[in-house]
């Protein structure tokens, strides 16, 4: 069943036809006009109440359809999640950084929702998987302590706003075993610094680095700092790259954002899949609420090398690979079928959301649907979809399922 899906026009999205979201929407629905001055940030596929998908042929919401057709969900998913599609599949097109954030564990989310329902709107966790479609930049996880110590030794503008005690303890730390204590104290010191002092220190560093040689500018991340500061002047999050890993993903690379892992998307286009939740605890690069006490208490202060953060898929057959994270809410499959071939998707005990990202052809369960970039279909549990490219063409698609 082909779906009409919701576009979210958040301010950080790429503008007009620069956006993969806009390109996919216009290719799937040529009648839709694209406004080149408007941001097209996210395409939502699923049953989330803030952007529910519509079954085009039936003229009803997917969420209403599954209530009346329990077989669409399947017994295994119903047993685990009830009558629901527990994941949200998205395409993101990022022009400027999203907020630095982390998502609570399930038990913590339940506690936050109970105590602060106006801030934390639901009791669910929000693990996320991001797969790059274009070159993609992100901040993710704390750096190795040795790198943070080196930055602090070269950035007096930063240490001037941190407590001397927290910096001294960090610099004296020998190994990674003390991460939780030393990084927690330094990060707490940063997040509670005076806003005027933060803004002044950032401006001082930018002014100094503009007069340094190219090598120094590169090693102290001036190009990234300059971009963040242009979009979020004076924001505490502009200091984050000196504490967090700066990832530059190539198309096909993925990261899994487990609970409590600090992260921020900076630029590029990706496929994202997540558990259905709106629980976000923010740490900067945002005008929204920063809940410092909750954030500092929950973060994963482990140090990661960048390659530890890459999440590798498993090959399933000649046409598909799967990213299967350690949660039951979702997994994502990439499917590619070349010209002259045809492919039946693997039979899953879960409903599927499938988006065509490139190529031409048709997809068929019982009735064929024209397949072109941006076309999204819902597939019932325990059913197969046949993907057949046009002659001289290919089909590439991403399929989201429950990980049951």
Q: What CATH number has the domain bearing residue 107?
A: 2.60.120.10
Rounded Cα distance between 245 and 354, Å, is: 31
Q: What CATH number has the domain bearing residue 156?
A: 1.10.441.10
Mean per-residue pLDDT, 264-268: 97
Same domain, 233 and 277: no
Across the strands, what pairs with 337?
395
Rounded Cα distance between 101 and 152, Å, is: 22
Same domain, 301 and 169: yes
Same domain, 66 and 163: no
User: Final residue of a domain: which of 226, 260, 294?
Assistant: 294
Same domain, 194 and 286: no
Rounded Cα distance between 330 and 324, Å, is: 8
Same domain, 150 and 133: no
Same domain, 232 and 261: no
Say what the pTM is: 0.95
Q: 106 pLDDT exceeds 70?
A: yes
Q: 384 pLDDT exceeds 80?
A: yes
Q: 277 pLDDT exceeds 90?
A: no
Contacts of 391 (CB under 8 A, 6+ apart): 339, 340
Query: CA torsion angle for 156, 238, 106, 108 (degrees, to 10)?
Result: 50
pLDDT of residue 175: 66
Same domain, 162 and 255: no
Question: Nearest CA to 119 among 241, 292, 251?
Answer: 292
Same domain, 259 and 116: yes
pLDDT of residue 322: 98
Per-residue pLDDT of 283-338, as tens digits, reads 899 888 888 889 989 999 999 999 999 999 999 999 999 999 999 999 999 999 99
Residue 79: pLDDT band by 50, 70, 90 thresholds? very high
| Mean pLDDT, the chain, whole residue set | 95
Per-residue pLDDT of 1-30, as tens digits, reads 999 999 999 999 999 999 999 999 999 999
CA atoms within 13 A on the CB side of 323: 25
Say which DSSP state 82 is in.
-
Mean per-residue pLDDT, 89-111: 94
Mean per-residue pLDDT, 199-204: 98
Q: Hey, how many other C-beta atoms are within 10 angstroms of the C-beta on 196?
A: 9
Q: Hey, how many other C-beta atoms are within 10 angstroms of the C-beta on 250?
A: 9
pLDDT of residue 177: 61
Same domain, 66 and 180: no
Place of tokens 């990213």: 323
pLDDT of residue 343: 97
Same domain, 225 and 256: no
pLDDT of residue 37: 97
Per-residue pLDDT of 45-76, as tens digits, reads 999 999 999 999 999 999 999 999 999 999 99
Q: Which of 184, 208, 227, 282 is catalytic?
A: 282
List of long-range contacts for 205-214, beta carbons under 8 Å, 24+ apart: 205/155, 205/157, 205/158, 208/157
Same domain, 168 and 300: yes
The total number of residues shown for the chain amounts to 404
Which range, of 120-124, 144-148, 349-353, 400-404, averages the lowest pLDDT? 120-124
pLDDT of residue 178: 73
Same domain, 300 and 290: no
What is the SS3 string spanning 319-340? Answer: CEEEECCCCCCCEEEEEEECCC
To the query of whether residue 250 is one of the catalytic residues in this protein, the response is no
pLDDT of residue 90: 98
Across the strands, what pairs with 370?
362
Structurally, the chain folds into a number of domains equal to 3
Q: What is the residue range of 133's domain?
A: 2-139+250-294
- The answer to whether 404 and 80 have CB atoms below 8 angstroms apart is yes
Q: 124 pLDDT exceeds 90?
A: no
């Amino acid at each position: 069943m082909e779906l009409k899906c919701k576009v979210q026009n958040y301010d950080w999205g790429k503008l007009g036809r620069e956006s993969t979201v806009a390109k996919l929407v216009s290719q799937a629905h040529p009648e839709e006009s694209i406004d080149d001055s408007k941001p097209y940030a996210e395409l939502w596929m699923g049953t989330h109440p803030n952007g529910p998908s519509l079954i085009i042929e039936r003229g009803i919401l997917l969420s209403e359809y599954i209530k009346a057709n329990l077989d669409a969900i399947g017994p295994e998913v119903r047993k685990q999640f009830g009558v629901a599609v527990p994941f949200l599949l998205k395409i993101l097109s990022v022009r400027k950084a999203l907020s630095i954030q982390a998502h609570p564990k399930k038990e913590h989310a339940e506690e936050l929702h109970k105590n602060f329902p106006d801030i934390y709107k639901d009791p669910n966790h929000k693990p996320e998987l991001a797969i790059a479609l274009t070159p993609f930049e992100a901040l993710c996880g704390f750096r190795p302590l040795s790198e943070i110590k080196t930055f602090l030794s070269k950035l007096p503008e930063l240490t001037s706003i941190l407590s001397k005690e927290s910096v001294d303890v960090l610099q004296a730390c020998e190994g990674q075993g003390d991460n939780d204590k030393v990084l927690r104290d330094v990060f707490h010191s940063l997040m509670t610094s005076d806003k005027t002092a933060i803004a002044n220190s950032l401006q001082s560093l930018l002014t100094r680095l503009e007069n340094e040689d190219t090598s120094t500018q590169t090693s102290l991340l001036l190009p990234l700092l300059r971009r963040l500061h242009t979009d979020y002047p004076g924001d505490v999050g502009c200091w984050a790259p000196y504490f967090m890993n700066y990832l530059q993903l190539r198309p096909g690379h993925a990261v899994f954002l487990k609970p409590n892992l600090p992260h921020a998307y900076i630029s590029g286009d990706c496929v994202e899949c997540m558990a259905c939740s709106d629980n976000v605890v923010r740490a900067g690069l945002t005008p929204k609420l920063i809940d410092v006490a909750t954030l500092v208490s929950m973060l994963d202060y482990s140090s990661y090398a960048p390659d530890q953060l890459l999440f590798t898929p498993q090959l399933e057959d000649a046409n598909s690979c799967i990213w299967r994270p350690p949660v039951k809410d979702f997994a994502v499959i990439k499917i590619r079928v070349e010209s002259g071939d045809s492919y039946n998707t693997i039979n899953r005990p879960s409903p599927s959301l499938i988006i065509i990202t490139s190529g031409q052809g048709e997809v068929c369960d019982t009735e064929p649907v024209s397949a072109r970039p941006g076309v999204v279909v819902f597939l019932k549990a325990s059913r197969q979809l046949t993907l057949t490219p046009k002659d001289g063409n290919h089909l590439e698609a991403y399929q989201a399922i429950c990980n049951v």
